[in-house]
Structure formats: structure tokens, C-alpha cells
Amino acid sequence: MLRSSQHVFIIGAQKAGTTWLQHVLDTDPRFATTTEQETFFFDRVEGRTETDYEALYPRLRPGQISVDNSSTYLTEPGIIEGIHAFSHLLHGPPKVIGLLREPVSRAFSAYQMLLNYGRSYPDFLTALEDCAHNTFRRKSLYAQHVKNWYEAFGPDHVRFFIYEDLITNKEQLLDELAAFLEVDHLSDYYGQRPVNVGGIDRSKWLPVARGAVGRSLRGMGFSRTLHKLKRSRLVGYVESRNKEKMVLDDQTRREAAKLFEEDAHKVANILNRPELPRRWGY
């Protein structure tokens, strides 16, 4: 059994602020994060053991809150069943945190990310409508997944936050997160410094080098040093110069929104957030 006092899953959605939240908890000594920024453990759980999961937390101290951050967990099949199979390792029912972003914006950010990874599509709408590889569309259709997580763990243990609230009122969102996790005030170590900024990389070697350095420092237990580097002005300047932001034109946005409008209203009903579709532009 993990020696933590509580276990937290950050489940996504991808490109909706999960890296920011992982950084908030990673820089707080009350929390123990994993040696990898994202574990994806339950994406491919077959053949894995309790020892494998415990090994993700080599520096976990008794009384800390352990955190599993994997932005794929929200929408990938079999995740909930996998977590239930390992539930005896956890100290009581886990807390589950989701972050949801306006669906078209989330999909467009993911589209740019996968272009960086070498994927090729004629355009954004083609990628959305490609039923053989509809990653962007599926991961922005939240309603059924949100419902599944509530049913699996109960409303007292699952909380979905809205990415746009992070942008407009970060302090209030942090207070709500702290209340849900039953801890005193949470703070953002990065302040106004953007985290995991999207866009197309001008130089492909820079994110590769960044990832290698990050894995090495986390693996050696130097997460604080890693965050100091990432927060520095020099790294911020280099990162910003390396990013080229794609712009989504209004016509394409309107066409894409048709794919998500019905689902956005369903999400609003599930979350009891009637203002959400209007806020998202639906």
C-alpha cells in the first residue's frame, strides 16, 4: 500500500491545464508526484504489478498526498477499471481532478502538438473529421466521460474545473482546488509565467532536449531545480522565441464548433454550469 494520506488523479483533459496543475502540486511539499511528469500507467496496465505502481513514488514520505498526473485518463477506455483493480494500494477512495477547456480550442492546441510530433494533415477540419484518427474530436467530447467518472467514484471524490477560470481567476480556482483536496491554500510557483505554451516548434531539438533534462532532474529528485530553470527569464525567452502560434480563423472555428455544441450542453447539465455553453461560444 502507498504510504500517502490521500491519492489524487489528474485525469485531463489534454491541453487544458493539467501540466500547470501538476507543477502547482509538484512544488508543494505536501504532495508527492511521480518520477515522470505523466505516468500513463493505467493506459497500458496489463502485465503491470503493484510494485510497478509503487515504484513511481520513490521519494514518497508518510503523510504526503500522492499524485498521478495523466492527461489521457479522462477519455481512454479501461482506465477506471484499471484504477479499481489497484484500489487496494490506495489509502481510501482517491480524489479525481479534471480540467475542461472549450472543445475547439483544446482540439486546436492538440492539433498543433501532434504536428510537432510529425503527424501530417491537410488542415484542422480534416483532422477533426478523420474518423480513423479522430483523437482531437474524441478528446473534446467530454460529456460521457465526465458522467463515467462521477458514477465510478462519486461526486464527493470527483471535481471538474474549467480551464477558462484558470485564465480569468486563477486565485479563486486555487482556493477551490485546496478546498476539494482538504489542504490549506495552494499557490502557483510560476506566477504569471506561462506553463507548457502551445504552438509549433521552430526548432525540433529544443523540446527534445528540454524533455531529456526534465526526466533526468525528476529522476534524481531535483524537481525544485527543474522548476527554477523552467521559471527563469532565460528559459522563458528561449521557449517563446521557439514557438510559432497558429491562428484559427473564425469560419473554421464555427465549422468545428458544430461537432461539439450538443456535447457542450450535456456537459453543462452534468456539471450544473448552465452558463458554460454561452461562455464557450455555443
Residue 132 in this model has a pLDDT that exceeds 70: no
Q: Indicate the residue type of 82.
A: G
Quote the pLDDT of residue 239.
84
Quote the pLDDT of residue 14.
93
Spatial separation of the C-alpha atoms in residues 59 and 62, rounded to whole Å: 10
Residue of 16, 257, 263 whose CA lies nearest to 141: 263
- Torsion, Cα 236 186 72 141, to 10 degrees, reads -100
> For 3-25, what is each residue's pLDDT tens digit?
888 999 999 999 999 999 999 99
Spatial separation of the C-alpha atoms in residues 263 and 56, rounded to whole Å: 35
Burial of 13 per CB tally in 10 Å (0-12, 13-18, 19+):
buried
Per the CB < 8 A criterion, the answer to whether 270 and 227 are in contact is: no
Structural domains in the chain, CATH included, are 6-103+138-192+263-280 (3.40.50.300)
Predicted confidence band at 146 (pLDDT cuts at 50, 70, 90)? very high
Give the mean pLDDT of 116-121: 82
Residues in the chain, how many? Answer: 282
**Backbone phi, psi, residue 170, to 5°:** -60, -40
Number of helices and strands (H, E) in the chain?
15, 7
Relative orientation angle of helices 250-257 and 103-116, to the nearest 10 degrees: 110
Grouping H, G, I as helix, E, B as strand and the rest as coil, residue 167 is helix
Sign of the Cα pseudo-torsion (30, 35, 36, 38, in order): negative
Grouping H, G, I as helix, E, B as strand and the rest as coil, residue 96 is strand
> For 209-239, what is each residue's pLDDT tens digit?
888 988 898 888 899 898 888 889 888 888 8
Grouping H, G, I as helix, E, B as strand and the rest as coil, residue 160 is strand
> For 171-203, what is each residue's pLDDT tens digit?
999 999 999 999 999 999 888 777 887 888 888
Residue 86 in this model has a pLDDT that exceeds 80: yes
- Torsion, Cα 12 178 42 90, to 10 degrees, reads -170
> For 264-273, what is each residue's pLDDT tens digit?
999 999 999 9
What cell was used for 131? Answer: 474518423
Grouping H, G, I as helix, E, B as strand and the rest as coil, residue 30 is coil
